[in-house]
Structure 1
Amino acid sequence: MLAINSDTIRPSLKLYFIMGSINCLKSPVEVLSEAITGGITLFQFREKGPGALMGQAKLELAKKLQKLCWEHNIPFIINDDISLAIAIGADGVHIGQDDEPASSMRARLGPNAIIGVSAHTLEEAQQALLDGANYLGIGPIFPTQSKDDAKEVQGTSLIEELRAKGIQIPLVGIGGIKIDNAASVIHAGADGVSVISAIAGADSVRDAATRFIREIEMNKLKSF
């Protein structure tokens, strides 16, 4: 497990890449390797949907991707599957509103685990804070086809509301984020953006990640 916690997670959210085997046009290991070369700062293994790997195949892929992340000091997060996270000693988990609360995840994973929570309302964000979340995933910001269970699109309004109320927990925007709309998420107050298809499905994964990093860094400077 990397030495990443709630005090150091904020910069790691800058370009948060989410991927599973079903999102890839080539080998997931190759896609992740190119994304790391392009500059991603955090990775979430999300193996869900029709055709997703299960059992031993999922475990073996998780281990390969985790090894690659750790070789480059990239935090490795697992979506929902706490049993898998415990089995391989992942850096943390990301959970939704239908999963166990962050407080339960914390009790099972320990004080140093990264726990991210998806929030769609102010009330959900406040509860996640009380439960000990390290960061919040806010969205979907824009329409997305990467998640079959995505909630209603809400733009950047919740990010703006949380910041206006003085809530300073690290925030990452998610849902339909592309190069041409990433700036609005950063200007709203997010610490970074989460991306699936705009990187995993790109002709050049490395170039796509590099373009995102440049766009985010340029607009972070404009926000100060």
Structure 2
Amino acid sequence: MERFYLITGGVDWIEKLVPHGVKLVQLRIKDQPETEVCRQVARARDFCRQHGTQLIVNDYWQVALELGCDFVHLGQEDMDSADFAALRKAGVRFGLSTHDEAELDRALSYKPEYVALGPVYPTKLKKMKWAPQGLERVQRWKQMVGQTPLVAIGGLTPERLAGVFEAGADSAAVVTDILQAPDPVARTQEWVEACKP
């Protein structure tokens, strides 16, 4: 699994940042009509294919199926309605969000491509009902997930990266630190460099 995992809020961000060395990107669209979601997912799919980048579609698993995308990310609520049999039949891989042990047990029962744990640090992105998990929780999660890749998310910066990887995360998912940076392109390049093994 790629060590650097960019999460963006729209296809425009993908077209702006992916050419700067991003090999794993999530398209996380919120509060848009389905026609707009489909338009963005299709554009992102084609753009990522041209750049050899793995696109992961957040939440909209039906759209991903219809448009021939091969990877989705689902939160706990999305798992209630997702048709995992249809995803598997179509060869669509999926990553799942977790915040506590009950959610982790549930996620692992689906045999996901990866498990995400967050927020590791305080995050500005959205109001969270979970307190920051910290690096000890990352270590514990790594022991519990076994061979399943572990994605750390929430409040990550290049300065915090070494500790996150040392704690056992396989991949660092980044949203705010890039999208709210004064120069998102330069910040993306910094992350790509920082995540090199």
Shift of 1:109: 1.2
Higher relative CO (Cα under 8 Å, sequence separation at least 6) belongs to 1
| Partner residue in 2 for 1:32 | 14
1:100 aligns with 2:79: yes
Shift of 1:159: 1.9
**For the residues of structure 1 that align with 2:179 and 2:49, how far apart are their CA atoms?**
20
TM-superposed CA distance for 1:162, in Å, is 2.7
* Structure 1 gaps, min length 5: 1-9, 22-27
1:208 aligns with 2:197: no
* Higher mean C-alpha displacement, 150-159 vs 81-90: 150-159
Q: Distance in 1 between matches of 2:76 and 2:32?
A: 23
TM-score by length of 2: 0.88
Separation of aligned partners in 2, 1:127 and 1:110: 17
Q: Percent same amino acid at aligned positions?
A: 27
Where does residue 17 of structure 1 map in the other structure?
6
Match of 1:84 among 63, 66, 88: 63
Cα–Cα, structure 1 residues 154 and 192, in superposed 2: closer, same or farther, change >3 Å? same
Aligned length: 196
Per-residue deviation, 1:150? 5.6
2:53 alignment partner, one of 63, 69, 74: 74
Is this contact kept in 1: 2:19–2:51, CA < 8 A? Answer: no
- The DSSP-based 3-state class of the residue aligned with 2:79 is coil
SS in structure 1 at match of 2:7: strand
Please tell me whether the aligned partners of residues 138 and 173 of structure 1 are also in contact (alpha carbons under 8 angstroms).
yes
C-alpha distance after superposition, 1:66-111 (max 9, x if no partner): 2111111211111111221122111221111222259x54312125
Q: Secondary structure at the match of 1:115?
A: strand
2:26 maps to what in 1? Answer: 44
What is the SS of the residue equivalent to 1:83? Answer: helix
* 1:38 counterpart letter in structure 2: H
Identify the range of structure 1 (154-163 vs 171-180) with the bigger mean alpha-carbon deviation. 154-163
- Within a 5 Å distance, the mapping from 1:121-200 to structure 2 comes to 121-149=100-128, 151-165=130-144, 167-200=146-179
SS at match of 2:195: helix
Query: Is structure 2 residue 109 aligned with structure 1 residue 109?
Result: no
Structure 1 runs of 4+ with >4 Å offset: none
